[in-house]
Amino acid sequence: MADEKDKASATSGVQDTLVPERVVDGLPTMYCFETCPFCFKVKALLGSRGIEYSKVEVDPTFKTQLKWSEWSAVPVFVDIDGTQVNDSNYILHYIDSKDSSSFPREGEDPEQDEWMDFSNLILGKSIVAVIYKSYRTSVQALDYVTRIDNFSFGARLVNKWLGGIIMRMVGKSRAKMFELPPRENLEFQLDHMSSGIKSDYFGGENPNGADFANYGILRSMEGLYGFDIVESHSTVWPWYQRMKISSGI
């Protein structure tokens, strides 16, 4: 998603150039949209580790607060020394490596890597196909998103209706990626995901990167059309509640 739109030079991961001027209030700073699934991954990890941070709400229409960055998608994380990290899964690894290094780094545990990829490539797309399943559910979702995110009043109205139409088209294209219809596909993907939840978590007794990555995606669906599918899943729902309690979000 982000990759297609970014300028050629923008890269994911830790950046060479420090940007200490982008640190807010001397705390690790996250540039985000309030309702963005990828941002929820990072908020979940920061919450579960009790890390205090500053949040900069980016305006989704013009992305004014992110104009300084070549990477134009949220989340962008800036550590207190000015280290900039782009892309949610890289940010999860970076934060964990600086904190307790509780989960394996990329390349050390193929299962964790696979489930972290699953969060972006499959789960993220599966929820979009459900949330934007019809014009009604799309406008409903955009009504919610434009109320919660950092939209100006004018942009809110335009985005609610125009965004509803655009996201319905995105929902349709995501649905085409899967054989099953959207709701059935999400149920199927949650069943598949359950095979990775070993005991309490993907990580076993404690959450690893795959837990934060997949929880963040599903957390962004709370309150939107189709969340009942998550609530009624016999393995994913108890896991989700454990993640909710431990992350506090």
Ligand X SMILES: N[C@@H](CCC(=O)N[C@@H](CS)C(=O)NCC(=O)O)C(=O)O
Binding residue (CB under 6 A) for ligand X from 1, 51, 157, 158? 1
Q: Is 132 in the site for ligand X (CB under 6 A)?
A: no
Gap between the Cα atoms of 17 and 104, Å rounded: 26
Binding residue (CB under 6 A) for ligand X from 23, 30, 36, 92? 36
Binding residue (CB under 6 A) for ligand X from 2, 27, 224, 249? 2
Using CB under 6 A, count the residues that bind ligand X.
Answer: 15
Q: If you compute the radius of gyration of the chain from its CA atoms, what whole number of angstroms results?
A: 18
Residue 86 CB, nearest distance to ligand X (Å)?
7
Gap between the Cα atoms of 190 and 218, Å rounded: 10
Q: Which helix (H) or strand (E) holds 171?
A: helix 153-175
Q: Is 73 in the site for ligand X (CB under 6 A)?
A: yes
Gap between the Cα atoms of 156 and 167, Å rounded: 15
Q: Is 218 in the site for ligand X (CB under 6 A)?
A: no
118: CB partners within 8 A, 6+ apart: 193, 196, 210, 214
What does each C-alpha distance from 241 to 148, 152, 209 come to in angstroms?
Answer: 23, 34, 17
Q: Is 33 in the site for ligand X (CB under 6 A)?
A: yes
Q: Is 148 in the site for ligand X (CB under 6 A)?
A: no
Residue 29 CB, nearest distance to ligand X (Å)?
16
Binding residue (CB under 6 A) for ligand X from 120, 138, 146, 189? 120
Binding residue (CB under 6 A) for ligand X from 72, 102, 140, 150? 72
| Contact present, 99 and 49 (Cβ < 8 Å) | yes
Q: Is 211 in the site for ligand X (CB under 6 A)?
A: no
Taking the least distance from each CB to ligand X, the nearer of 76 and 197 is 76
Residue 32 CB, nearest distance to ligand X (Å)?
9
Residue 80 CB, nearest distance to ligand X (Å)?
21
Q: Is 224 in the site for ligand X (CB under 6 A)?
A: no
Q: Is 38 in the site for ligand X (CB under 6 A)?
A: yes
Residue 181 CB, nearest distance to ligand X (Å)?
24
What does each C-alpha distance from 245 to 45, 60, 223, 238, 248 come to in angstroms?
Answer: 12, 29, 18, 11, 5
Residue 93 CB, nearest distance to ligand X (Å)?
12
Q: Is 5 in the site for ligand X (CB under 6 A)?
A: yes
Gap between the Cα atoms of 64 and 151, Å rounded: 11
Q: Is 87 in the site for ligand X (CB under 6 A)?
A: yes
Q: What is the DSSP string of 195-232?
A: TT--SSBTTBTS--HHHHHHHHHHHTTTTSTTHHHHHT
Q: Which residues bind ligand X (CB under 6 A)?
A: 1-2, 5, 33, 36-38, 72-75, 87-89, 120
